[in-house]
Structure 1
Amino acid sequence: MKLKQKIHLWSSLLMLVILGVLTAVIYFSFSELAFDTEVSQLQTELETVVTAVNDNPADDPVDILRGYVPADGLVRAVSGGTKLIRDIQDPDVTVQFPAALPENAGIIEVEESRFAYVTAPIIWTDGEVAELVMAQSLDEVSANLQSLRFVLLAAVAVAMIPIILSSAVLGRLVTKPVTDLTNTMTRIQKSGQFEKLPLTETAKDEIGEMGSTFNEMMELLEENYRKQEEFVSNASHELKTPLTVISSYAKLLQRQGMEDPAIAEESLAAIRMETERMNSLIEQLLHIARRSETQLELANVNLPEVLGQTVKVMQTSFNREFRLIGGQQAIVVKTDVPKLKQLLYILLDNARKYSSDRIEVIVKNEGAPTIQIRDFGIGIPKESLPFVFERFYRVDKARSRDSGGFGLGLSLAKQLADALHAELEIESIENMGTTVSIVFSGDFNVQPVNLKQEGLR
């Protein structure tokens, strides 16, 4: 059963049950009230009869009682279970009223007819205390209640017509956005083209929020799909170049390398170099693709100590001047040391490639712990700064290829910084140098630490 039909069915049944319960409560409440009213009126009339008999002891009580016989009712006087007089009753009453009554007042059913009755003590002509009984038929009340039943049932039937129609409209109204969403997803699946739901500006309810969320998700998927296509295209392009070089030198080696040692040496050196470049590219691609490596092993560390170790490794490896500035005082942050060192190596290696002068590593704690890596190289054009963290983006593709870059280093650095809850900021002036800042979040990274307890310097 479809959702629209379920909404239609269950809402109609629920309203039918509610109306049925409400109708039953109204009917039974009214019927009890009607019967109680008849008994109360009969009680008042009996008190009047008793007063009239007691006030006229010389008169024949039968004559007095005959004047007070209720319509469709009877009056009798009983003493010790024996009738003192014959029942005085309306000619329309033909039933045999029972001699014994269960209570002093109430409702009794006699020969499928209901009667209201009341009793009261009375002093009879011989001074004996007798029991005066007055009863009245409730056929008229029962007929009115039957009419009320028909009216209530008719009212329920009439009320269910707009309820059924409105529940059908409600079912369509609720399921229409879901149907539109399903149809849109089906079209996307068949065509492979991203499509959004048409929304009105007034749709501010939950259905409108669902449509807005779906459209935002489509935008994100479309953007990710475009980036994925661009990523695959760029990766294929980057891999194609070294593969072409390797293939060309392999053919040259096959044709002439066996006879000419110089050609063989040149070919093998080129093949080895391009293989190393390809290996480096694949390693960087794997680093970016590994989304599962976001589990951090956090520890409280002293930034100047970590920077000193990193700078020393870079100086030894490249025989270049890396200068640490501001490392005299301890600056403690909570971070993942291996990932932080990997981030530093990427930024320092990038600064080394595009600068022949010294490289400064500045650490300071002004508001938030910050590491700045400053070079005095060729710099980055102002118009290129917003794009330097995108994958495969290179300011000067020819120059970057000569220096061994693929345009992935800063993208990987941005990913590592995000994992460490740090911000990367870059400033650059062409032909003057570039400064990259790592700003640690005050809420996440900075912790009050006792250096002696932590064993930090």
Structure 2
Amino acid sequence: MNLKHKIQLFSTVGLLFIVLIINTSIYFLFNRMITNEELDRIAMRTQSIAEAMKPSELAIPAAELLRAYLPSSGMIRVIKEDKRSIVTVTKEPEFAGIAPAYKSAQTTELSKLKGTLIAKSYFPIIWSDGSIAALEVTESLASAQQNMKLLLAVLIAASLVVLIPSFIAGKMLSNVILRPIHSLNATMSEIRRNGVFKKLELTGSANDELVQLGNTFNSMIDILKNNFEKQQQFVSDASHELKTPLTVIESYARMLKRWGMNKPEVLEESVEAIYSESVRMKEMANQLLSLARHDMEQAVELSQADLLQLGEDVVRLIQAVHDRPITLHSEEREVGAFVDEQMMKQLMFILLDNALKYSTSPIELHMGCDDAGAFFSVNDRGIGIPQEDIPHIFDRFYRVDKARSRETGGTGLGLSIAKQIVDAHAGTIDVNSIEGAGTSFMVRIPVKTLR
């Protein structure tokens, strides 16, 4: 059974069930109310007859008096203690066949005669001979029973009539609910069939769960499309970047194969070029793997760390490798932050290595903290970055023509990795650069990540 039929079935059956409960309650409530009213009425009639039959007021024969009070469909009789009827007045013989019963107290009861509901009322009286007798008034409730049957028929008919609008309402409800779902299914099928990203066309001003579902789907499509475009661009850029060193290696390998054995200078040049390009390819491959891990939203293992200590470790390592002076400045004895230590070391290494490549002057690393959080900056006095290129320096494989040439060994991936590390910590990275005067990278880790 599909969802549409389920909605129609459950809405119709559910509403019918509620109507049946309400109508059943109404029927039994009215039945009890009418029955009690009839019993009270017959009890009052019996009491009135009993008062009229007092020996001191009885001027006419008892049978004649009782005939005056006889119901249109019923019986009145006087029953002695030995359960013997001494006076019986009725127009219908079937009532006379009812076995007499003596009741010493005023009471009422219900019974059935040939399927017809009857009410009996008893009231004790003093008979003319001074003995105690019971006055019994029996009356048919056929009229009330007929009214209850009519009410039952009306309630059943009303319950059945409810089925039609409830079925139509269920059908309309299923159409309203399933229309966006059908549209979503059709759009997804079209995306799978044509391989293109397509959004749902949302109409109306409602802001219900179905519209929220459509908005969520459209947001997901935007994310998928953006990621797909980034992936395509990444593959294109990576292929383009790897093509150059592979071409160089192939060319020098061909030279080695043709003249390398006979010309030592060609051998030395080729080996140096192949080694240099291999190193650059290795660096690029490592950075591509790093970017891929960040793109897959690698888990950030946050812990309490001292950025000042991390900075000292990174500076000591870089100075040992490059033999270049790097000065660390801080007015704090400890710069605490809640960060991933390995990522933060990688971030500092990227920024310091970038400064070393494009500056021959000493590099400065400043660290500190304020109310906004922890921060550190890397300053160099190198060739700087043109203002028009600053918005693009965090793009993958982007190089500034005058400052980021392949001669430095850069791949154009380092700053992209740095930006992703900062984003993973919900921080910011700002660039301030003057061409020919130097560049400063400022990184801030917000206070909400501090412990």
In which range does the TM-score fall when normalised by the shorter chain?
A: over 0.9
State the AA in 2 paired with 1:74: M
Using the TM superposition, give the Cα deviation of residue 96 of structure 1 relative to its aligned residue in structure 2, in angstroms: 1.9
For 1:328 and 1:146, locate their aligned partners in 2 and report how far apart those are by CA, in whole Å. 94
Structure 2 match to 1:199: 202
Rate the CA distance shift 1:95–1:169 in 2: closer, same or farther, 3 A: farther
Contact 1:234–1:392 (CA<8 Å) still a contact in 2?
A: yes
Aligned partner (choices 268, 271, 274) of residue 271 of structure 1: 274
Using the TM superposition, give the Cα deviation of residue 197 of structure 1 relative to its aligned residue in structure 2, in angstroms: 0.6
For 1:280 and 1:315, locate their aligned partners in 2 and report how far apart those are by CA, in whole Å. 20
Using the TM superposition, give the Cα deviation of residue 351 of structure 1 relative to its aligned residue in structure 2, in angstroms: 0.9
| TM-score normalised by structure 2 residue count | 0.93
Q: Deviations over 1:269-306 (max 9, x none)?
A: 111111111000000011111246424152332x3333
Aligned pairs for 1:420-431 (under 5 A) are: 420-431=425-436
For 2:3 and 2:96, locate their aligned partners in 1 and report how far apart those are by CA, in whole Å. 60
Aligned pairs for 1:4-153 (under 5 A) are: 4-54=4-54, 56-91=57-92, 96-100=97-101, 104-153=107-156
For 2:415 and 2:329, locate their aligned partners in 1 and report how far apart those are by CA, in whole Å. 23
State the AA in 1 paired with 2:196: Q
Aligned partner (choices 138, 147, 164) of residue 161 of structure 1: 164
Structure 2 match to 1:245: 248
Structure 2 match to 1:453: none
Q: Secondary structure at the match of 2:447?
A: coil
Aligned pairs for 1:281-360 (under 5 A) are: 281-290=284-293, 291=296, 293-296=298-301, 298-301=303-306, 303-327=307-331, 329-360=333-364
Range 232-241 or range 28-37, more displaced: 28-37
Q: Secondary structure at the match of 1:393?
A: coil
2:407 is the alignment partner of 1:402: yes
Q: Deviations over 1:63-115 (max 9, x none)?
A: 21111111100011111233342421124755622223799312111222210
Q: Deviations over 1:141-168 (max 9, x none)?
A: 1111111122112222222211111111
Q: Secondary structure at the match of 1:363?
A: strand
Query: How many pairs were matched up?
Result: 445
Structure 2 match to 1:413: 418
Rate the CA distance shift 1:366–1:292 in 2: closer, same or farther, 3 A: closer
Using the TM superposition, give the Cα deviation of residue 189 of structure 1 relative to its aligned residue in structure 2, in angstroms: 0.3
| TM-score normalised by structure 1 residue count | 0.92
For 2:69 and 2:402, locate their aligned partners in 1 and report how far apart those are by CA, in whole Å. 120
Range 172-181 or range 318-327, more displaced: 318-327
Contact 1:76–1:83 (CA<8 Å) still a contact in 2?
A: no
State the AA in 1 paired with 2:432: E
State the AA in 2 paired with 1:105: T
- Extract unaligned runs of 5+ from structure 1: 448-457
Contact 2:127–2:133 (CA<8 Å) still a contact in 1?
A: yes
Using the TM superposition, give the Cα deviation of residue 398 of structure 1 relative to its aligned residue in structure 2, in angstroms: 8.3
- Extract unaligned runs of 5+ from structure 2: none
Using the TM superposition, give the Cα deviation of residue 403 of structure 1 relative to its aligned residue in structure 2, in angstroms: 1.1
Identity of aligned residues (%): 36
Structure 2 match to 1:361: 365
Q: Secondary structure at the match of 1:251?
A: helix
After superposition, the CA RMSD in angstroms is 2.0
2:375 is the alignment partner of 1:374: no
